[in-house]
Amino acid sequence: MTDKATLTLGEARIELPIIIGSEGERAIDIRDLRAQTGHITLDPGFGNTGSCESAITYIDGDAGILRYRGIPIEDFAASPNFGEVAWLLICGSLPTADEYDAFSTDLTRFANLDEGMKHQFEGFPRNAPPMAILSAMINALSCFHPELHELEDEGQFRIASARLISKIRTIAAYAFRHSRGLPYIYPDPNLRYVPNFLHMMFSQPYKQYVCPQMVRDAMNLILILHADHEQNCSTSTVRVVGSSGANLFASCAAGVCALWGPLHGGANVEVLTMLEEIHHGNMTPEDYVKLAKDKDSKVRLMGFGHRVYKNFDPRAKMLGEVAEKILPRLCGNDPLLDIARRLEEIALSDPYFIDRKLYPNVDFYSGILLRAMGIPTNMFTVMFSIGRLPGWIAHWWEQHRGHGQRIARPRQIYTGETQRPYVPIDQR
Ligand code: CMC
């Protein structure tokens, strides 16, 4: 196979190198295109643009494959352990027993927030969106750890990562407690990552929340399935912000903001709103699908479609199976699960969705599961953020350590006014 592409532009023939990834993905390297031809490429939404080379996550959207550092996500289902996967993504290989113990210990010892930071929650209105609080507080962490702004050696970076992964769940739980006017519950050093988070969410000063094994496993799996997804909108945001030299905390805070949007992480909230709307009898599943197909309605079938997956989303498949298995045990017959199944059935047999290769994505079932575990709807995207954080950190570090990395600075095709004179206000 050729290792060069040839572009003909008028009389000129330009040779462009082909880059081949470890799974055989091919890219035309256009780094020097503008210098050679005066042309740029135009690709709104970056659907056809590779922004970097990365060794973290592999996706084959047609085959429904998702692998973290080479390991298929299905392999994590038997005994899901989010801490182990976080290490894998960040450090590149599965932790040894000693590495895992040390990392778990760090996740436990860093769980507390500085008391000064705790007081900042009081300044937010009760109805503040938890994603706004999350982003603000992750950024605020950088004020409390200025020593972690300049991360050059591996050891320091791992400390910063553990701090962030540990504290994000404390921030998330405190945001929830604040919104309900409930006292903050301190992390319990005897509990592991997920049970400790649920303890901070749901324990009362007079009554400890006890996390059932089934919930612990399902929550670990949900977090794992959200942990990375290569160059998605929020991860690309983290990379873009990090490319300016911004610190890890500032870059991840920006990632939270990007994830918030309804077309990205915010879709899990929209899915539940949609299911509840149907459940409350405002619409039938058939009506909803009809509306989603009507271009004038601006309504989309939330939790459906993906930029990369054009056959099935393996994360949705796994979560759908977990929902089937644990929902009856957690909350009996959930009518929202029946509605979701019905919507899926209608959409998957409708030419509109078939022709456009639109299938359920990760957000389609995650909300139903989170709801069954007692997580309120407005916290769903926060849960996505907790899950996605190791991915953001891994990408930030990969870029930070990479050679020849440049500040992200796309170009544009200007379509505004051509040169015209300034007219003083009394002559307009
Ligand atoms: N319902 C109805 N029509 C849809 C949907 C949907 N959910 N998704 C895409 N389409 C249509 C779209 O209108 C367009 O139709 P046409 O060709 O006639 O103009 C066609 O399918 C292609 O859509 P697109 O917007 O060009 O596709 P995209 O790759 O830019 O967008 C997406 C991907 C995920 C933003 C989009 O499918 C969507 O908005 N889905 C609903 C929101 C959602 O569930 N988001 C979560 C994504 S998974 C979690 C994550 O990674 O963030």
The predicted-structure confidence for 298-339, as pLDDT tens digits, reads as follows 899 999 999 899 888 999 999 999 988 998 888 877 888 889
**Per residue in 350-374, pLDDT tens?**
999 999 999 999 989 898 899 999 9
- Binned at pLDDT 50, 70 and 90, residue 398 comes out as very high
**pLDDT score for 2:** 62
End-to-end CA distance of the chain: give it in Å, rounded: 63
Cβ–ligand 1 distance for 360 under 6 Å, the answer no
**Closest Cα partner for 343 from 369, 364, 313, 315?**
364
- Whether the per-residue pLDDT at 348 is higher than 70: the answer is yes
Instruction: Choose one of 273, 289, 306 to mutate for the ligand 1 pocket test, by most ligand atoms within 8 angstroms of C-beta.
Output: 306
| pTM exceeds 0.85 for this model | yes
- Cβ atoms 120, 140 nearer than 8 A: yes
pLDDT digits (tens, 9 = 90+) for 204-262: 999 999 999 999 999 999 999 999 999 999 999 999 999 999 999 999 999 999 999 99
Confidence of residue 1 (pLDDT cuts 50, 70, 90): low
Q: Would you say the C-alpha torsion 189, 192, 198, 203 has a positive or negative sign?
A: negative
Nearest-CA residue for atom 27 of ligand 1:
307
Does ligand 1 come within 6 angstroms of the Cβ of 301?
yes
Strand partners, 60: 65
User: What's the average model confidence in pLDDT over 376-380?
Assistant: 93
CB of residue 292 inside a 6 A radius of ligand 1: yes
Centre of ligand 1 from the C-alpha of residue 306, in Å: 6
Torsion sign (Cα): 364, 302, 170, 143: positive
Rounded to an integer, the average pLDDT of 10-20 is 94
How would residue 146 be classed by pLDDT, with cut points 50, 70 and 90? Answer: confident
CA angle 235, 238, 244 (to 5 degrees): 145
**Residue 229 near ligand 1, beta carbon < 6 Å:** yes
Determine the Cα–Cα distance for residues 312 and 308; give it in Å rounded to an integer. 10
Q: Report the pLDDT value the prediction gives residue 395, as an integer from 0 to 100.
A: 97
What is the average pLDDT across 281-306? Answer: 91
Is the beta carbon of 302 within 6 A of some atom in ligand 1? Answer: yes
CA-wise closest residue to 108 among 174, 177, 175, 196:
196
- pLDDT recorded at residue 367: 87
User: Quick check: CB of 356 below 6 Å from ligand 1?
Assistant: yes
Q: How far is CA 385 from the centre of its chain?
A: 6
Round to whole Å and give the CA distance between 297 and 343: 18
Tell me the residue length of the chain.
Answer: 428
Average pLDDT, the chain: 94
Atom of ligand 1 at shortest distance to CA of 264?
52
Stretch (H or E) spanning 401 = helix 380-401
Q: Where are the alpha helices (DSSP H) in 58-153?
A: 82-91, 97-109, 115-120, 130-144
Q: What is the CA(132)–ligand 1 centre distance, in A? A: 25
Backbone φ, ψ for residue 7 (5° rounding): -110, 130
CA of residue 269 to ligand 1 center, whole Å: 16
pLDDT of residue 332: 78
Residue closest by Cα to atom 37 of ligand 1: 305
3 state SS of 207: strand
SS3 242: helix
Question: Which residues is 66 bridged to in the sheet?
Answer: 59
User: By alpha-carbon position, which residue is closest to atom 29 of ligand 1?
Assistant: 307
List residues with catalytic annotation.
306, 363
Enter the tokens of residue 427: 């002559």
**By mean pLDDT, which of 50-54, 169-173, 221-225, 329-333 is the weakest?**
329-333
What's the DSSP call for residue 191?
Answer: S
Nearest to 267 by CA among 359, 357, 358, 366: 366
Which of 307, 346, 383 has most ligand 1 atoms within 8 Å of CB, for mutation? 307
